[in-house]
Structure 1
Amino acid sequence: MANQFDLKKILDSFKDITIGVVGDLMLDDYIIGTVERISPEAPVPVVTVKEERFALGGAANVVNNLNALQAKTICFGIIGNDANGDRLINAFLEKNIDPSSIIKTNTLPTIVKKRVLAGNQQLLRIDWEDSSPILPVLEDQLIEEFKKNIDKLDAVILSDYDKGVLTPKVAKEIVRLCREKNIIVNVDPKPKNALNYMGASSMTPNKKEAIECMGIKTDDFEKLGKDLKEKLNLNNLLLTRSEEGMSLFLDKVVNIPTFAQEVYDVTGAGDTVISVFTLASAAGVSLHEAAKIANTAAGVVVGKVGTSTATKEEILEFYEKIYDKWGV
């Protein structure tokens, strides 16, 4: 187990690591207000707006999580040649994230998910998107951009929200290239696309996603994880099980408990898990320790409202509370 000093050293080493992120880039818009009455026009709440803000979402939230921990990132994705695409690029620039490997197109809009919240309760979500698979010309551009940068990468994250970027051609070619170069390639999958990621280093599905990947309903999570790892020829599998913690499938199964705290919002928690698990793995710690650090970071972000990230200081503090205190 990493003690406080060792963990700080691990987290400090993240600044020397470069992670490639490939996937569906989005913006998360939030309208936040209060509800005191029902509309006379229809049986719906009237929200008095107090604040409007946006955050990086989807694969862009993975980039944001990595950036919050001072890692270097190269982001590969497709956005619309539109005002929302400009917003996303500007948000990257404000955070000193290089957006030069992101491709703009006139054929698809930038994905935006707008949420209306009142009293920490989500009342409505409105999505602007076209989840059609990207055109072959964009597939080729994306793969070429990845090839140009692959030698700079210590690890790769494929962030699949099933919005058309990680087509079978793109997914399989990136996994192949990473295996050829012996680069860690971890996947946050959508179940319907799971077979596209055969041979990846790791996958981080939740239990529901794993069940859908296997096409069977079962309560035997250990068999589920072992079968999925074998089916997809993965080096390891990190299965997240909500309040039951995580299970890491190596040659044996390692269960990592979670600890009760107030949960405000699970939005983006999966992005945090794969970001921190991949970073810690690339830093050279054991996969068990990487999973524990990822579990800690996820515990931090679910205690925040909206798409969030965890800082090094928050991870250090929470890790001490749960692992060093309980000795697990």
Structure 2
Amino acid sequence: MIGPERLQGFLEQFPGQRIGLLGDLFLDRYLELAAGVREHSIETGLEAYQVDSVRNAPGALGTVLNNLAALGVGELVPVTVIGDDGHGFDLLKQLSVLPVNCQHVCQSKHRLTPTYTKPLRPVAGAWEELHRLDVRTRAPLNQQELDWVIENLKIVFNETDGLIVLDQIDEDDWGVVGAAVRDALVDLVQGDPDKIVFIDSRSQISQFQCGHLKGNHDEFTRGLQRLAAVSEVDSRDAVRTLAARTGRVAFCTMGEQGVLVAFPDGDIEVVPGIVVDGPVDIVGAGDAMTSATVAALLGGATPVEAATLGNLAASITIRQLGTTGTASPAQLRNAACQLAR
């Protein structure tokens, strides 16, 4: 575990950090339905949900922004494309209360702002999520949008301390981070190999040839299966192989089993998981881990120390039920003290 003085040293670095981010920025919209009110449409006879309250929150890349802001990071600079629409307006409004520089957020008339709309019905004192409504453009960026992303990526890469890449879209080339952007990223890293670039990709992790790769067990094993065209893969082999391919330390999250920290030379260290008693909500835990790990790396932590801090942040967020939680410096200090007892 990280000692209190060492931990405090990392935390004191966060406010001075300027972190760039690249990827898919979503709006999460929660529609809280009125309790005990059931009405039906005269036209269709179907139930007409009666919304009592609307909550908006940044999602996907926005969840990482929320976590970094909660950690006290000084400035966040995302590169992304959203729609020039009402959802985009609401998303930017949410970002306006965070230390986010939106100069490199493109609002395109040709795309929809990716939005997850989640109706929530109160049941026995808790919210039950009904059928989600997904809004997004199911097509690649056009050439003008793609050129804009690459040009702004170059600017942000050169003007920030480190870069987080979040590739949320399952379909290759349908999100912000497609093949051309991955190639541009390789060129940038070759020009500045000491820059910390941290990549979290849901479906394309094996297609990145640079940076610190981060994913869970399934993402790494699927990635190596795709890369090597094999059917059965061990998670240790997967993370070890992909770390060697990029030449950077890779991080494989294993839930309660902790984190595999794989070095390019083939060595692997295991950061133990943190046991959490009682009910948990794992939504957003990976983003909390990403945020704390990157902030720690930029603050001078070793990869194992950074993964330890990431684990600690995730253990805090999963205790926050019914919401995508965050971890503050004070919470990290308290959690570290409790573990040290």
Q: Answer whether contact 2:40 2:48 (CA < 8 A) is retained.
A: no
Secondary structure of 2:103's partner?
Answer: coil
> For 1:201-220, what aligned pairs fall within 5 Å after superposition?
202-215=212-225, 218=232, 220=234
Q: Which residue of 2 aligns with 1:300?
A: 316
Displacement after TM superposition at 1:21 (Å):
0.3
Q: Answer whether contact 2:149 2:176 (CA < 8 A) is retained.
A: no
Q: Which residue of 2 aligns with 1:91?
A: 94
CA distance in 2, matches of 1:249, 1:171: 22
> For 1:51-70, what aligned pairs fall within 5 Å after superposition?
51-70=53-72
Matched letter for residue 71 of structure 2: L
- Per mean C-alpha deviation after superposition, the further-off stretch among 241-250 and 291-300 is 241-250
Change over 3 Å in CA distance of 1:84–1:21 after alignment to 2: same
Displacement after TM superposition at 1:248 (Å):
0.9
For the pair 1:242 / 2:258, whether they are aligned, the reply is: no
Displacement after TM superposition at 1:148 (Å):
2.3
Matched letter for residue 87 of structure 1: D
Q: Which of 68, 76, 86 does residue 73 from structure 1 map onto?
A: 76
For the pair 1:321 / 2:333, whether they are aligned, the reply is: no
Q: Which of 190, 205, 209 does residue 194 from structure 1 map onto?
A: 205
Deviation digits for residues 74-106 of structure 1 (CA, Å, limit 9, x no counterpart) = 110001001111111122222242111101101
Q: Which of 162, 166, 185 does residue 174 from structure 1 map onto?
A: 185
For the pair 1:183 / 2:183, whether they are aligned, the reply is: no
Q: Answer whether contact 1:55 1:307 (CA < 8 A) is retained.
A: no
CA distance in 2, matches of 1:128, 1:76: 20
- Per mean C-alpha deviation after superposition, the further-off stretch among 77-86 and 96-105 is 96-105
Deviation digits for residues 176-218 of structure 1 (CA, Å, limit 9, x no counterpart) = 2033123111110122x23431122x11111111121112565
Matched letter for residue 204 of structure 1: K
Q: Which runs of 5+ in 2 are unaligned?
A: none
CA distance in 2, matches of 1:235, 1:131: 33
CA distance in 2, matches of 1:281, 1:77: 24
CA distance in 1, matches of 2:34, 2:271: 38
Q: Which runs of 5+ in 1 are unaligned?
A: none
Matched letter for residue 10 of structure 1: F
- Per mean C-alpha deviation after superposition, the further-off stretch among 55-64 and 214-223 is 214-223
Secondary structure of 1:204's partner?
Answer: strand
Q: Which of 229, 245, 255 does residue 243 from structure 2 map onto?
A: 229
Displacement after TM superposition at 1:296 (Å):
0.7
Secondary structure of 1:172's partner?
Answer: helix
CA distance in 2, matches of 1:290, 1:157: 15
- Per mean C-alpha deviation after superposition, the further-off stretch among 303-312 and 260-269 is 260-269
Displacement after TM superposition at 1:36 (Å):
6.6
- Return the TM-score normalized by structure 1: 0.88
Q: Which of 284, 297, 304 does residue 268 from structure 1 map onto?
A: 284
Displacement after TM superposition at 1:141 (Å):
0.9
CA distance in 2, matches of 1:33, 1:84: 20
- Per mean C-alpha deviation after superposition, the further-off stretch among 93-102 and 113-122 is 113-122
Change over 3 Å in CA distance of 1:198–1:53 after alignment to 2: same
Change over 3 Å in CA distance of 1:314–1:282 after alignment to 2: same
Displacement after TM superposition at 1:10 (Å):
0.9
Q: Answer whether contact 1:269 1:302 (CA < 8 A) is retained.
A: yes
Deviation digits for residues 37-79 of structure 1 (CA, Å, limit 9, x no counterpart) = 999999x999775543121101122122112222121110001
Q: Answer whether contact 1:187 1:203 (CA < 8 A) is retained.
A: yes
Q: How many residues align?
A: 320
Compute the RMSD of aligned alpha carbons.
2.6
Q: Which residue of 1 aligns with 2:30?
A: 30
Q: Answer whether contact 1:172 1:196 (CA < 8 A) is retained.
A: no
> For 1:70-149, what aligned pairs fall within 5 Å after superposition?
70-71=72-73, 72-117=75-120, 118=122, 119-149=126-156
CA distance in 1, matches of 2:312, 2:334: 9
Q: Answer whether contact 2:205 2:219 (CA < 8 A) is retained.
A: no
Q: Answer whether contact 2:206 2:224 (CA < 8 A) is retained.
A: no
- Return the TM-score normalized by structure 2: 0.85
Displacement after TM superposition at 1:28 (Å):
0.8
Matched letter for residue 308 of structure 1: G
CA distance in 2, matches of 1:120, 1:220: 38
Deviation digits for residues 205-250 of structure 1 (CA, Å, limit 9, x no counterpart) = 11111121112565733223212323x3241111011222211112
CA distance in 2, matches of 1:23, 1:151: 17
Tell me the percent identity. Answer: 23
CA distance in 2, matches of 1:120, 1:5: 41
Secondary structure of 1:127's partner?
Answer: strand
